[in-house]
């Protein structure tokens, strides 16, 4: 749910983006469970963000928008920081203004403006599976980098009650990177906003079987799991708008804190990784994720208030550990939206590394416009633009996570 309308109003030149409610949609049907509200029809492609932003007269730099705490001006300047010296594949070229963009495809006539290249991408892209293969070729050209499968299933809860710090982006991209390298991965979308479902292009309109059915109705996990198109080994349990009521409904349910844990324990499918994308709160949904998981991954945005909420999160984790899940461990901290031009980002990084020590991954995710564009194509940045700094950094983060899991195996062997 996008809390402010301002971003949507300049971002979309027409209503009806992927999975977002369209009350006047002729295909809207009454909600199957409640009989009220509406369900949204099939996915409607939305224009490239960059294209919509170019066309928008309403956009002014610094204007706030939903889901994040940076401005349109930041996006433009973040693009400017991408220099030709950055690690990008040969398939990406620097234009006169220093921006990195995909090399024109063979069908594009010489001198085709960048905007037209973006349009052709929408119409002539190869199938999703080929995109995934291309992603691996770009990210790992020699094939030398492996992401070893863990000896036993790792259940990782991606949590931070602060909103817009990159939880969903992290869960989606690390899951895709691991799956592209042979791991069997499940993403559980535990946020009623359904952003992880959107990012993985998994249907999550009202009426679709979802994680709500597992939590409240006790449905088996396999009944609500969907394969992710184009990424072998990757599945997703979507979240629909029904989940918005679960926080309250759970209060009166038996074993309310361990509903997700029980569902996962009863699941016969052998996953290497299960990532649970949490909502920005410390309510019962997040508690369910913490009880189900062995590990917590905390994404921390490199911003001034970044550490303020983390203390509340760590005390909650300590509570869950002492009462409900003694093996829970904060295994991983990931710095996100790092802006190397600011001294503040360095200071936050230092603070976080001093506080969490070697739990902090060496890989740091930069603020990168490709990362924020990818969900509007219902893709991860790994497949949307594998040569971008955002994709490269998530690839490195996934590799570190896999290697740490392998070290645990060696230590236990």
Ligand X SMILES: Nc1ncnc2c1ncn2[C@@H]1O[C@H](COP(=O)(O)OP(=O)(O)OP(=O)(O)O)[C@@H](O)[C@H]1O
H/E stretch holding 335: strand 329-338
**Segments of 140-203 assigned E as strands:** 154-158, 185-189
Binding mask 164-183 for Mg ion (x = CB under 5 A): ---xx---------------
Question: What is the rounded distance in angstroms from the CA atom of residue 367 to the CA atom of residue 348?
Answer: 14
| Residue from the set 368, 379, 383, 388 that interacts with ligand X by CB under 6 A | 368
Question: With CB cut-offs between 5 and 8 Å by kind, which of ligand X, Mg ion, none does residue 150 bind?
Answer: none
> Any idea what DSSP says for residue 18?
T
Question: With CB cut-offs between 5 and 8 Å by kind, which of Mg ion, ligand X, none does residue 163 bind?
Answer: ligand X
**Residue 378 within binding range of ligand X, rule CB under 6 A:** no
| Residue from the set 19, 192, 390, 405 that interacts with ligand X by CB under 6 A | 390
**Could you tell me which stretch among 19-27, 46-54, 165-173, 262-270 binds ligand X (CB under 6 A)?**
165-173
Q: 62-67 long-range contacts, Cβ below 8 Å, gap at least 24?
A: 63/6, 63/7, 63/10, 64/4, 64/6, 64/7, 65/4, 65/6, 65/7, 65/8, 65/11, 66/2, 66/3, 66/4, 66/5, 66/6, 66/7, 66/8, 67/2, 67/3, 67/7, 67/163, 67/164, 67/195
| Residue from the set 50, 89, 101, 195 that interacts with Mg ion by CB under 5 A | 195
| Residue from the set 140, 168, 197, 288 that interacts with ligand X by CB under 6 A | 168
| Residue from the set 174, 317, 365, 397 that interacts with ligand X by CB under 6 A | 365
Question: With CB cut-offs between 5 and 8 Å by kind, which of ligand X, Mg ion, none does residue 169 bind?
Answer: ligand X
**Residue 289 within binding range of ligand X, rule CB under 6 A:** no
Question: What is the rounded distance in angstroms from the CA atom of residue 209 to the CA atom of residue 49?
Answer: 30
**Could you tell me which stretch among 123-131, 137-145, 163-171, 325-333 binds Mg ion (CB under 5 A)?**
163-171
**Could you tell me which stretch among 123-131, 179-187, 284-292, 365-373 binds ligand X (CB under 6 A)?**
365-373
**Segments of 52-180 assigned E as strands:** 92-94, 100-102, 154-158
Question: With CB cut-offs between 5 and 8 Å by kind, which of Mg ion, ligand X, none does residue 68 bind?
Answer: ligand X
Question: What is the rounded distance in angstroms from the CA atom of residue 79 to the CA atom of residue 251?
Answer: 46
Structure tokens at 368: 């990168």
- Look-up of token digits 């603020």: 367
Closest CA to 216 of 263, 151, 180: 263
**Residue 162 within binding range of Mg ion, rule CB under 5 A:** no
Residue ranges in contact with ligand X by CB under 6 A: 67-68, 163-169, 191, 193, 195, 280, 336-337, 365, 367-368, 371-372, 375, 390
Residue ranges in contact with Mg ion by CB under 5 A: 167-168, 195
């Amino acid at each position: 749910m996008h809390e402010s309308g301002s971003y949507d109003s300049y971002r979309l030149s027409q209503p009806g983006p992927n999975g977002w409610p369209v009350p006047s949609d002729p295909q809207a049907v009454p909600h199957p469970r409640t009989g009220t509200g509406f369900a949204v029809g099939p996915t409607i492609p939305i224009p490239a963000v960059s294209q919509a932003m170019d066309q928008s007269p309403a956009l002014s730099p610094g204007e706030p928008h939903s889901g994040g705490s940076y401005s349109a001006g930041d996006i433009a300047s973040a693009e400017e920081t991408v220099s030709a010296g950055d690690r990008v594949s040969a398939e990406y070229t620097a234009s006169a203004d220093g921006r990195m963009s995909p090399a024109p495809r063979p069908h594009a006539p010489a001198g085709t403006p960048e905007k037209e290249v973006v349009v052709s991408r929408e119409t002539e892209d190869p199938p999703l599976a080929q995109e995934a293969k291309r992603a691996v070729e770009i990210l790992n050209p020699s094939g030398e980098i492996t992401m070893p499968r863990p000896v036993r299933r790792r259940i990782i809860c991606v949590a931070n009650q602060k909103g817009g710090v990159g939880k969903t982006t992290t869960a989606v991209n690390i899951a895709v990177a691991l799956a592209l390298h042979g791991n069997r991965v499940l993403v559980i979308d535990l946020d009623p906003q359904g952003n992880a479902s959107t990012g993985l292009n998994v249907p999550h309109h009202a009426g679709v079987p979802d994680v709500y059915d597992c939590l409240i109705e006790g449905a088996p996990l396999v009944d609500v799991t969907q394969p992710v198109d184009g990424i072998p080994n990757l599945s997703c349990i979507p979240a629909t708008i029904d989940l918005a009521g679960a926080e309250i409904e759970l209060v009166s349910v038996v074993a309310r804190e361990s509903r997700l844990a029980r569902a996962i324990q009863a699941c016969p499918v052998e996953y290497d990784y299960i990532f649970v994308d949490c909502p920005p709160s410390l309510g019962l949904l997040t508690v369910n994720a913490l009880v189900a998981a062995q590990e917590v991954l905390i994404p921390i945005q490199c911003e001034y208030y970044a550490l303020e909420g983390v203390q509340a999160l760590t005390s909650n984790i300590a509570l869950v550990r002492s009462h409900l899940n003694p093996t829970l461990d904060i295994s991983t901290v990931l710095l996100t939206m790092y802006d190397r031009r600011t001294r503040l980002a360095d200071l936050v990084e230092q603070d976080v590394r001093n506080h969490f020590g070697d739990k902090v991954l060496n890989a740091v995710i930069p603020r990168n416009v490709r990362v924020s564009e990818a969900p509007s194509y219902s893709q991860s940045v790994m497949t949307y633009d594998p040569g971008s700094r955002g994709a490269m950094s998530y690839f490195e983060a996934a590799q570190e996570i896999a290697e740490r899991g392998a070290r645990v195996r060696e230590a236990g062997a």
